[in-house]
Amino acid sequence: MTETELAAVIEKAFDYRGDVTVDLKDGRQVVGFLSNRNLKGAEHCSEPFIELMIASQPELVCIACRDIVNIRLTGEDTAAGKSWEDWAAKEATKKKTQGKA
Amino acid sequence: MSVPVSQAFTICSYVIRQRMKGNKYYPLVLMLEPLFRCNLECAGCGKIQYPEHVLQRRLTPEQCFRAADECGAPVISLPGGEPLIHPEIKEIVEGLVVRKKYVYLCTNALLLKRKMGLFTPSKYLTFSVHLDGLEEDHDHSVCRDGTFKTAVEAIQEALKRGFRVTTNMTLFEGTDPERVREFFDYLTNLGVEGMMLSPGYSYTHAPDQKHFLHRNRTHDLFNRILANPKKAWQFNQSPLFLEFLMGHRDYNCTPWGTPTYNIFGWQKPCYLLQDGYARTFKQMIAETDWSRYGHHTNNPLCRDCMVHSGYEPTAVNDTFSSWNGFLRTVKLTLFGGLGEGYRNGRQAEIAAQLAASGHGQKPSSPCGCGCSSNKPQEPSGDKK
């Protein structure tokens, strides 16, 4: 995966409202919610990194982008079907059904 | 004026101190989100759309105090999620009050009556109850019947016990201005200290003509609501911000004015957008490219935003950066006069002035009522 491709994958995972699985170069996999990405680096990590919130760990886990092979959207998307439009459509159907009954 | 003199003085002196220090990036209100979990599930609310293990997390009181000390804002808003769910909310509020911070505990008030006993009435503590309108409108907005009645009962009880109570309301396209005015009368009779308004935030639509109309419709809607305000109505916000909502002033956003801290860290760049996080307040200020955000940047994410978290700090800054702003604020606060431009038939002139300044003013929609079938998303933090 090129640097640009990886950046796109990271961005997609960052926008995702569910857990992701990060495949690392050493063969390990890390599962968690991708809460942050910084492709410039910051004070606590001078190179590009992502941050994950992992269910079993109290602190955020920081992973350098150079260690990442791929990121997969593996958890349930908690935003799916929960927009205002979805709710309004459901309500309309409910009312219609109630009207018929 | 709907805030105590001591609060107004604290904010005034804080802003003057920051300006004298030459500090451009000073925070006014810290949005401290102690948790994301909520006991309501409002459609489209981005705050609660997280995996279960994220919703289970909470800031500790110590983390809250560290954030408050780090940024130094004189006012702290505790939104969420629903902060009353937090098992240590009593400790959090007490610790912030000890620091002499003016705390606005933002709640849907479903648990308020039950948990009110945890708190002591103080000039530093205000319950800011979320109410989006009269019973039918509010219950529809939060997707659950009975919510309005519960909240009103809690407000009455809180007022009886001597607490400061304000309300916060989000207005969406399609809102009936007359019903909003009725709602203001209702809240005024209820005895709340002040009301806070903000337009709903929508950025998911394509940046097209409709977008511009959206902003213009916001002006129309607020003009119709506020052009002839009743003297008894009290608003818990800058009168210049209300004039901005009415389209009588052109402001750019001050996203650093209301920094947000939550379980992920310091949110970049503002309360609504999530463009990443920083470990410290200083890092957040330094790492964020502020030139990318705000209405005047033509960033499609910001183009239609007129939300209080970004523009109220601009209004406050305006009050203290020019005699014009200062005198206008004093006049509106002491003598009223909100919406006089609209009443005097100057709306076309005002629109032309704003258009000449190049900030997206287009002709009003034919009916001018702001009607639309699309309810934008709640101003509650979708990921970028």
| DSSP string of B248-308, one letter each residue | SS-----GGGS-EEETTEEEEE-SSEEEEEESSHHHHHHHS-GGG-SGGGT-TTTTT---H
Peptide bond into B61 cis (omega under 30): no
For B265, residues 6+ apart whose C-beta sits below 8 A from its C-beta are: A36, A60, B277, B278, B279, B284
Q: In what order do the strands lie in the sheet with A29-38?
A: A61-64, A49-53, A29-38, A20-24, A68-72
B217: which 2 tokens?
């419709």
By Cβ distance, the residue of B43, B53, B265 closest to A87 is B43
B234 to chain A, closest Cα gap in Å: 31
Candidates B44, B263, B279; nearest CB to A44: B279
Chain B interface with A: residues with Cβ < 8 Å: 41, 43-44, 46, 49-51, 53-54, 57, 143, 263-265, 276-280, 283, 287, 375-377, 383-384
* pLDDT, tens digit (0-9, with 9 covering 90-100), for A55-92: 999 999 999 999 999 999 999 999 888 877 787 787 77
Q: For position B363, what pLDDT does the model report? A: 29
Q: Determine the Cα–Cα distance for residues B167 and B233; give it in Å rounded to an integer.
A: 12
Which two three-digit tokens encode residue B366? 């034919």
For chain B, the distance separating the N- and C-terminal CA atoms, rounded to the nearest angstrom, is 36
pLDDT at residue A33 above 70? yes
Neighbours of A70 (CB within 10 A): 14
Interface test with A, best of B264, B281, B283 (most A CBs within 10 A): B264
**pTM for the full model?**
0.88
* pLDDT value, residue B354: 54
Chain B CA closest to residue A20: B51
Report the distance separating Cα B216 and Cα B361, nearest Å: 6
Percent of chain A with pLDDT over 90: 69
Chain A residues with CB inside 8 Å of B57's CB? 53
The residues near B31 (Cβ < 8 Å, ≥ 6 apart) are B77, B79, B258, B259, B260, B261, B271, B309
Question: Taking CB atoms and an 8 Å cutoff, what residues of chain A touch B375?
Answer: 84, 88
Residues of B in contact with A76 (CB under 8 A): 51
CB count in 10 Å sphere of residue B293? 24
Residue B140 vs residues B108, B148, B173, B259, B347: alpha-carbon distances, Å: 14, 10, 14, 30, 32
Would you say the ipTM is above 0.85?
Answer: yes
Q: How many CB pairs under 8 A join A and B?
A: 68
| CA–CA min distance A4, chain B (Å) | 18
Q: How far is B373 from chain A (nearest CA, A)?
A: 10
Interatomic CA distance for residues B300 and B206, integer angstroms: 8
pLDDT value at residue B355:
59
Going residue by residue through chain B, which has 384 residues, state the pLDDT in tens, using 9 for 90 and above. 578 889 999 999 999 999 999 999 999 999 999 999 999 988 878 888 999 999 999 999 999 999 999 999 999 999 989 999 999 999 999 999 999 999 999 999 999 999 999 999 999 999 999 999 999 999 988 989 999 999 999 999 999 999 999 999 988 877 899 999 999 999 999 999 999 998 887 654 333 444 455 788 888 899 999 988 999 999 999 999 999 999 999 999 999 999 999 999 999 999 999 999 999 999 999 999 999 999 888 898 898 899 999 999 999 999 988 888 989 998 888 888 787 766 666 666 655 655 555 443 332 222 222 222 233 344 444 454
Structure tokens at B367: 């009916």
- Checking A23-31 for CB contacts under 8 A at 24+ apart, the result is A23/A68, A23/A69, A23/A70, A23/A71, A23/A72, A24/A63, A24/A67, A24/A68, A24/A69, A25/A67, A25/A68, A25/A69, A26/A67, A30/A54, A30/A61, A30/A63, A31/A55, A31/A74, A31/A75
- pLDDT in the model for residue B364: 28
